[in-house]
Every structure is written in C-alpha cells, then in structure tokens.
Structure 1
C-alpha cells in the first residue's frame, strides 16, 4: 500500500502546470522561453506554488537533487535562469540523469552513450567469469540478452535517431566484445558471430524499438497527441491512406534526426 498511498498523496501536485512530467517521486517542470526576451518568472512562480503545496501536504523537496537545465541550441548568448526553491538557489547544470537517461542542454547524446557503454562494459565481466567456468555459448548468449543488452537498449526510441555514426559504432563495438567473449576461439568476425548467435545488429534493434514505440503512440488515444494528426484523404481516392501529416520541413539536421520526425518518416514509409 505504500507506493499507492504515495501516488495518491502527490497526485494533485503541479496540476495547474501544463508542461509537467511526473514519475513516482520524480517530477520535471518546463516552460518555453523566447530567447530574444527570456522571462523565467513563470517557472519561478511554479516553483513557489510547489513549495506552498509541499508545506500544506507536509512533504519536503530535496533541493540537493533539484537542478535547472536551460535547453538552448542557439549560437547567440542567452541569459541563464536564476531560480530557487524556497531559500535554496538551484544549480544550473549542463547535463543530468532523467529517469536513467543522461540529457544535456544541447540535446546531444555523447555523455549518455559514454555512460551506457561504460555500464555495459562493467557487466561484460559477468560473461568472462562464466566463460572461465565452462558455460556453453548458448547460456552465455542468454546472459548477454538478459543482463547486458537491456542496458544498450534502455529508452532507445528517445535518443537512437539522433546518434552520430561514431556513437552508433561505440555501441556496436560493445556487442562485438560480448560476441568475442561468448564464442572465444570460435569467433571469426562480427557478422559471422551474429549469425551463429542469432543476434541482430544493435542498429537494427534500435530501429525496431523506435518503430514499435511510434506504432504504440499511433494506436493509443492517450498518447496520440505526441504525433501529428492523420493525413486528410486524397480527393480522388475511395479509401483513406493511413499516413501522418509530415512534420514541417526541418531547418536543421538536429531536428530532422530527432525522435518525432524520425517516427513520422518511419510510419509513412511503412
């Protein structure tokens, strides 16, 4: 009953804030800012209302874990926010972990890839140890797909489409190292190892996850608003073509390769 009672307690927090995301005891608040005339007072007002709510409900905010991140891809200098929770000023950071994903203020994924490659590399010790104990390749493959592969796949629809080629190769090399450990002297190349172990390339797994995520958004009414509306039926057709209205022409490759345009392009191509 503990988690359920806690969710009931915090259910009415930040209800008057349109841009909010809550997961158990983790809450994120955001507001759009005009970079030419930045005004952070609405966000400070939201924090003040949240402080009032915590006082009324006899809970506290851990200000040591509360940070501010200013997402801005503009090349021009923009005034940074100076916000506080009660009497505690909030630290402005360039990157932070949000539900297990490392996000930076330029919406690049370099640090996140470094973190998951490091975590997966630590777990490869498990394979080496089991290999030394004489476990067969079939069992080692199951260990890899159960304990190591999920680390390389976690929340991939949010970041895979924006990866650079170098970052994709970093992830692929981690799986390559796992294949070498599993097969040992029988390893004779990455492609042959994938065939022997019945494993797809990580890039294929990530594209599949992105497609499944987009299809879920398309089919679930609760999350349908994350995608653009259905395309109108053509005048001369008798049946509606199940395509999405393409997102407006991207001005930058950064936006073109982000998650939403990539999902729309993938759905329309299928």
Structure 2
C-alpha cells in the first residue's frame, strides 16, 4: 500500500509540475506485465482509456468483447431497419453504429487473436445491409459498398502510420550495396515474438510490399490510392495482401 501511495504521489507531482490536473476519482493504478504479478488491493484488473479497454497483460480480449457487444447491437438495429429503408440508408447506418466501433483504435489491437470475431460480425452486418442470405459470400459486396474489411482496416491504419512517421531506416541507409530491397524499411528489433503484434513490426512489413512509386506519393495521394487498392481487392487476411501483385 505504501508503494502504491508513493506512486500516486509521484504522478500527482508530475502533473502539477507540468501544469496539469489529475482527477484522483478517475485515476486507476495498473501494472503492465507479461507475467502474473502478486496481488495488490490497489491494482485494477481492467481500465478504460480513451474508449479502449486495457488489461494488465494487454491481451485485448476484454476490449474485443465490448466491441463485439456493440457490433451485435448494431446488427440488430440494421435488421430492424432493413425492411423499411433503402440499401443506401442501411449503409449509412452501418457506418454509424457498427463500423465506427470496429475501426476505433484498431491500430492498437488489430493483430490480436480475437479479431476474427469482429470480422465475422462485420460480414454479418454487410450481409444485412446488402440483404444477402446468412451464409452467402459477401466479398464482392464489400467492394460494391466500398467498405473496408477488418483486415483491410488494420492494414490501412498501419500504412498511414508509416507514412506519417519518417524516422524509419532503409536497407540502403545501412549498407551501400545496390540490392533489390535497398529501399525497403528495416523493422525495429524485437526480442520477444509477443512484441511483434504491434504497428512497429506489421506497419513496416505491409509497407515494404508496396511498389516504390506508391511509397513515394505525397500523404494525401498515398492515402487515396491505398484505400482504393484495399477496397477493390477486399482482402480477407493479411497474407492475401502480402502476396498481392501490385
């Protein structure tokens, strides 16, 4: 308990020194670790930060449960509307009550093991919007409705993440050899495989498969072209994108 109070005092001092206010009623103490830590009555098992549910091991299961619950409610609303509004209205409703929750902060949790649940719910929602049967294939419908699949949403945010951040090193910066991949980015070193689940690893991997002409586009044009590619191909897996011939 003494340690937790000391940590809280240090946090309050830091906030005060930086002319910020700390709302102690909304402040929770959590220790992030890949190992199970001894119990502490002052530690919390989960916390919501800017709409994202965090747990001490950053496994994202709790967050995905909550997003799945919102998406399920959204699908129910879409079904209720499907008999009395047009496909265009249903598409607008989908973006408001399903897509907005599925895409929020996907850069952080989009490579977690439970993301396939949200993709299944997204396909169900798209079938409702396009009035398809429960088991009908809907890949072409994603293209027709211009909706990014969950894997495409994650790829899109990763590619924009790289384009916004210019502090990456290429193979050409490391050596002077004129190799085929000299313009590819060098991914940061991660000692643990678990650490490869974030954008630091996957953003570089996705970006490196793009042609050089696309990589060098200004940000606005890059964003437009990447979104067009992802919509037109409607990738269902990351591997489909990595194998795609641009």
Do Structure 1 and Structure 2 share a fold, with TM-score over 0.5?
A: yes
Counterpart position of 1:63: 24
Counterpart position of 2:49: 98
For 1:170, which of 101, 117, 124 is the aligned residue?
Answer: 117
What SS class does the counterpart of residue 70 from structure 1 fall into?
A: coil
Q: What are the equivalent positions in structure 2 for 1:1-270 lying under 5 Å apart? A: 43-44=7-8, 46-50=10-14, 61-74=22-35, 77=37, 91-133=42-84, 135-161=85-111, 163-164=112-113, 167-184=114-131, 188-218=136-166, 224=167, 229=169, 231=171, 232-237=173-178, 241-248=182-189, 250-270=190-210
Whole-Å Cα distance in 2 between the matches of residues 73 and 258 of structure 1? 15
Give the total of aligned pairs.
Answer: 206
With normalisation by structure 1, the TM-score equals 0.63
Counterpart position of 1:33: none
Whole-Å Cα distance in 1 between the matches of residues 82 and 55 of structure 2? 38
Task: From the two aligned structures, give the one with the greater strand fraction.
Answer: 1
Consecutive unaligned residues of structure 1, counting only runs of 5 or more, are 1-38, 83-90, 219-223
* Contact 1:120 1:148 (C-alpha < 8 Å) held by counterparts: yes
Deviations 1:32-65 (A, max 9, x none): xxxxxxx8898455235257669xx8x9643221
What SS class does the counterpart of residue 131 from structure 2 fall into?
A: helix
Instruction: Specify the structure having the higher radius of gyration (Cα).
Output: 1
* Contact 2:68 2:118 (C-alpha < 8 Å) held by counterparts: yes
When residues 148 and 44 of structure 1 are mapped into structure 2, their CA distance, relative to the original with a 3 A threshold, is closer
* Contact 1:159 1:259 (C-alpha < 8 Å) held by counterparts: no
Deviations 1:99-147 (A, max 9, x none): 11111110111111111111122223332232232x1223212221244
Task: From the two aligned structures, give the one with the greater helix fraction.
Answer: 2
Whole-Å Cα distance in 2 between the matches of residues 52 and 246 of structure 1? 38
